[in-house]
Amino acid sequence: MATQDSFLSIKQWNILRSIGLTLFTLVVLIIFLLPLGYGVMTSLKTDSQLGTIGAPWYPASPFVFEYEGKEYDVYEVEIDGSLLELALVKKGREASEFIDPNNPEAGIIAWEGRWRQLEQAWFFDPVWENFITAWNTIDFPRLLGNTMFYAVLSTIGAVASASLVAYGFARYDFPGRSSLFMLVMATIILPPSVTLIPTYAFFHRIGWVGTWWPLIVPQFFANGYNVFLLRQFFMGIPRALDEAAMIDGAGHFRIFWSIVLPQARPALLAVTLFHFFFAWNDFFGPLIYLAGNPDSYPITVGLDGFKGLYEQMDNLIQAASLTAAFIPLLVFFFAQRVFMQGVVITGVEK
Amino acid sequence: MTFFSPSARNSTRRSGRIGKEQRRWGFAFLTPWLIGIVLFYLVPFVASFWFSLVDFNLANPEDTHYVGFRNWQRAIFEDPNVWESFSVTFAFAAISLPLGLGLALMLALLLNSKSVRGKALFRTLFYMPTMIPLVAAVFIWTGVLNEQTGWVNLILENVFGIQALGVNGLRWFANTRLIYFSLTFIGLWGVGNTMLITLAGLQSVPTDLYEASELDGAGFFQQLWYITLPMISPVLFYNIVLGVIGLMQYFLVPWVLNGGSGFPDGWTNFAGVYFFVQSFKFFNMGYGSVIAWLIFLIALILTLVLFGSARYWVYYAGGEN
């Protein structure tokens, strides 16, 4: 407990502390998500705004006023202490002439000063074309299709194999079980680089480099992380139902399939989501196995190549990045509970 | 945590018919993993050591020949890039791990505090960037940290009056003093998992410990130091081990930033990057295997040191270890 001020009752103190801490959390959150704000704002800007020094931080276009068939830029001009938005109709070095767009009938307003030092007036004007341009240039539908193909197939393999293996570890008693399980744990912390080169050389030899198979096929042989998560969950499912089913004459696979798996739905869903997003965001695997075969690139590798082409066009880069993030974020908002529970199962099971 | 403490329960071996059936079905369910561990772990693991003893370039495989420990000798004694890559990896870890774990702990404490309102929403929003593909996150951060047009420098200059823009400004990706912080910031967007695991750890601390200490007049920092941190030390341990192992293979962010150029001045030539450059850019598979093995051995030593240190500072409430 913090020290209590004698002017405040405990209740008032608690309210104050609640407001203070909540505000603090909010400030941290705003700083934390600031880059996302930058990404959204930049993705909606025009090329010319990006190239203009002193342009607003939000997507905007310079205010233009049409007067007697001609277009004039609008500037922020200070006249008699108040800031007005006026259209510059005649430029002069030391004095210029303006028109008030809201009241053109009032005629020419003369102003003394250097117009080059004035700030242009802008109005909020998001352009969505960047998203369309990025979508088409990067050939997003093809990348999406490739990513989807990889994510779906490898998730099926990963979930199916891991649930079989985890069930074996959770429900059966056989010699060497605990040493084998230690081996499962060891594969989780083994740096993948130490097995990568021979694996790559092997897939190269059988002609699979350039295809998705080296990335998908190994997923059908149970990944340690998924086995660990599912085993933890299976161990928490009471055996009473299995035993009843066994007495009724159900076979081993039947018990696994119809009794235990349905009860493990939350964990299965968590593993499915984890693996799906692992595959969705995988960069290293596709980078080495699909090198030189751009037709089969997933979103991550495609996005990386896009940067090389449009180094200076930050609006397009941000639009492409946000497009790539859109589906994972969408799924996350719908399935966040399952997702966050799954993280906790892996992390702190005792 | 089962992860690091082998289960103490010793199951009694069953014998006879039931025992045989248990064995048979147990291994039957394990089949996919048993095949996988041999094909994708054991064989490649041994093979990669063999690879480290040959000169093997995938560009001209006919030239492959046995060279003994020549590759090892080159990596350890002759190639300055190897040790440079490991030392920059450690330097980066020294900055990025404490900041990453510190932020995760701070967020978890806030999300566990009675005083913070709207915790469910905060939790979702702090987790959210973890879902953004890392390649996209790198691009978003590259934009926001741009020296001239990024919001960070614009805000520092215009709101806080710090000289951030211009020639002597904050060049987040070119300045050797700033680059590790920039990389750390990008990594902080993935704080979600560590934050949730730490939060779950906090929630499992018995509340009566806090109530008792409050009666004794303990303040927030005393509670944090004497109750919270010891009670969640297994979780912190788990996070540190995974963090260290992850950093030994740190690759994606520096690669997407500069394609393995090491800019600025070799400071982003991390071990994981150098491994990739040698193995998959130059296709020196023999030499690449040596770097892979060095990564493995150093990760192993660090893990063993961490496990060895655990008994001095990790507290298992259950009495294990």
B57 in Cβ contact with B283 (< 8 Å): yes
Q: What percent of chain B has pLDDT over 70?
A: 94
Average pLDDT score, chain A: 88
Predicted pLDDT of residue B317: 67
Q: ∠ CA(A284), CA(A286), CA(A291), 5° rounding?
A: 105
Q: Which residue has the tokens 């939060």?
A: B199
Counting other chains too, the contacts that B176-184 makes at CB distance below 8 Å and 24 or more residues apart are B176/B264, B176/B265, B176/B267, B179/B264, B179/B267, B179/B268, B180/B91, B180/B92, B180/B95, B180/B96, B180/B267, B181/B95, B182/B141, B182/B145, B183/B92, B183/B96, B183/B253, B183/B254, B183/B268, B184/B92, B184/B95, B184/B96, B184/B99, B184/B100
Average pLDDT score, chain B: 90
pLDDT for B200 beyond 60: yes
B182 in Cβ contact with B145 (< 8 Å): yes
Give phi and psi for B99, each to the nearest 5.
-65, -45
Give B190 to chain A, closest Cα distance, Å.
Answer: 11
pLDDT for B45 beyond 60: yes
What pLDDT, in 10s, does the model give residues A241-286?
A: 888 888 998 899 999 999 999 998 888 988 898 899 899 999 999 9
- The tokens describing A281, both together, are 């965001």
Nearest residue to B289 (alpha-carbon basis) of B82, B84, B88: B82
Q: Which residue has the tokens 């960047």?
A: A130
pTM: 0.89
- How are the residues of chain A apportioned to helix, strand and coil, as percentages rounded to the nearest 5? 65, 10, 25
Give phi and psi for B218, each to the nearest 5.
-75, 140
Count CB atoms within 10 A of the CB of residue B81: 15
pLDDT for B214 beyond 90: no
pLDDT for B7 beyond 60: no
A-facing residues of B in 26-65 (CB < 8 A) are: 26-33, 35-37, 39-41, 43-45, 47-48, 51, 56, 58
What pLDDT, in 10s, does the model give residues B120-130?
A: 999 999 999 99
Distance (Å, whole) CA B232 – CA B201: 6
What pLDDT, in 10s, does the model give residues A6-15?
A: 677 888 888 9
Per-residue buried b or exposed e for A71-82, using 16+ beta carbons within 10 Å of the residue's own CB: ebbbbebeeeee
Band the pLDDT of A345: cuts 50, 70, 90: low
B120 in Cβ contact with B204 (< 8 Å): no
Give B61 to chain A, closest Cα distance, Å.
Answer: 10
Which DSSP string do the residues of A91-144 spell out, in sequence order? Answer: --SSEEEEE-TT-GGG--EEEES-GGGSEEPEEE----HHHHHHHHHTTHHHHH
User: Within chain A, what is the greatest distance between any pair of CA atoms?
Assistant: 100
Cβ of residue B101 closer than 8 Å to a chain A Cβ: no
User: CA torsion sign, B233 to B234 to B236 to B237?
Assistant: positive
CB contact under 8 A, A35 and B141: yes
Give B263 to chain A, closest Cα distance, Å.
Answer: 16
Give phi and psi for A233, each to the nearest 5.
-70, -45
Eight-class DSSP state of B204: T
Count CB atoms within 10 A of the CB of residue A218: 20
Find residue B55's DSSP bridge partners.
B65
What pLDDT, in 10s, does the model give residues A86-135?
A: 888 888 888 888 888 888 888 788 888 888 788 888 889 999 999 999 99
Cβ of residue B280 closer than 8 Å to a chain A Cβ: yes
Q: Of A37-41, A120-124, B102-106, which range is least confident?
A: A120-124
CB contact under 8 A, B193 and A38: no
Average pLDDT over residues B236-246: 91
Nearest residue to B11 (alpha-carbon basis) of A232, A173, A185, A231: A173
Distance (Å, whole) CA B254 – CA B270: 8
Band the pLDDT of B10: cuts 50, 70, 90: very low
Please report, in angstroms and rounded to a whole number, the separation of the first and last CA atoms in chain A: 30
CB contact under 8 A, B249 and A193: yes
Q: Which residue has the tokens 């998908």?
A: A216
Residues from chain B contacting residue A195 (CB–CB below 8 Å): 40-41, 44-45, 48
What pLDDT, in 10s, does the model give residues A154-170?
A: 999 999 999 999 999 99
pLDDT for B14 beyond 60: no
Q: Of A23-37, A110-124, A220-234, B45-59, which range is least confident?
A: A110-124
Cβ of residue B210 closer than 8 Å to a chain A Cβ: no
Q: Which of A1, A195, A232 sits opposite B45 (nearest CB)?
A: A195
Give phi and psi for B291, each to the nearest 5.
-65, -40
Cβ of residue B141 closer than 8 Å to a chain A Cβ: yes
Q: Which of B43, B196, B214 sits opposite A344 (nearest CB)?
A: B196
**Structural domains of chain B, with CATH:** 12-44 (no CATH), 79-313 (1.10.3720.10)
- The tokens describing A297, both together, are 């690139």
Q: What percent of chain B has pLDDT over 90?
A: 72
What pLDDT, in 10s, does the model give residues B130-152?
A: 999 999 999 999 999 998 889 99
- C-alpha distances out from residue B166 to B147, B160, B162, B171, Å: 8, 16, 12, 9
Q: Which of A189, A218, A228 sits opposite B40 (nearest CB)?
A: A218
pLDDT for A181 beyond 50: yes
Helix (H/G/I), strand (E/B), else coil: A311: coil
- The tokens describing A277, both together, are 């997003």
Give B125 to chain A, closest Cα distance, Å.
Answer: 8
pLDDT for A343 beyond 80: no
User: Within chain B, what is the greatest distance between any pair of CA atoms?
Assistant: 81
- The tokens describing B152, both together, are 């960070």
pLDDT for B255 beyond 90: yes
B273 in Cβ contact with B282 (< 8 Å): no
Q: Which conformational region is residue B166 in: left (phi greater than 0), alpha (psi within -120 to 50 degrees), or beta?
A: left
Give B20 to chain A, closest Cα distance, Å.
Answer: 9
Distance (Å, whole) CA A75 – CA A84: 8
Q: Which conformational region is residue A307 in: left (phi greater than 0), alpha (psi within -120 to 50 degrees), or beta?
A: alpha
Find residue A73's DSSP bridge partners.
A64
Find residue A77's DSSP bridge partners.
A84
Between A4 and B102, where is the model more confident? B102
- Closest-approach residue (CA) in chain B for A27: B122
Predicted pLDDT of residue A6: 63
Q: Of A233-242, A335-344, B4-13, B266-275, which range is least confident?
A: B4-13
- Closest-approach residue (CA) in chain B for A224: B33
Helix (H/G/I), strand (E/B), else coil: B186: helix
Disruptive mutation site among A27, A147, A193, A196 for chain B (greatest number of B CBs within 10 Å): A193
B-facing residues of A in 48-87 (CB < 8 A) are: 50, 57
Helix (H/G/I), strand (E/B), else coil: A71: strand
Helix (H/G/I), strand (E/B), else coil: A333: helix
pLDDT for B3 beyond 50: no
A-facing residues of B in 178-197 (CB < 8 A) are: 188-189, 192-193, 196-197
pLDDT for B12 beyond 70: no
Band the pLDDT of B2: cuts 50, 70, 90: very low
Nearest residue to B5 (alpha-carbon basis) of B319, B320, B249: B320
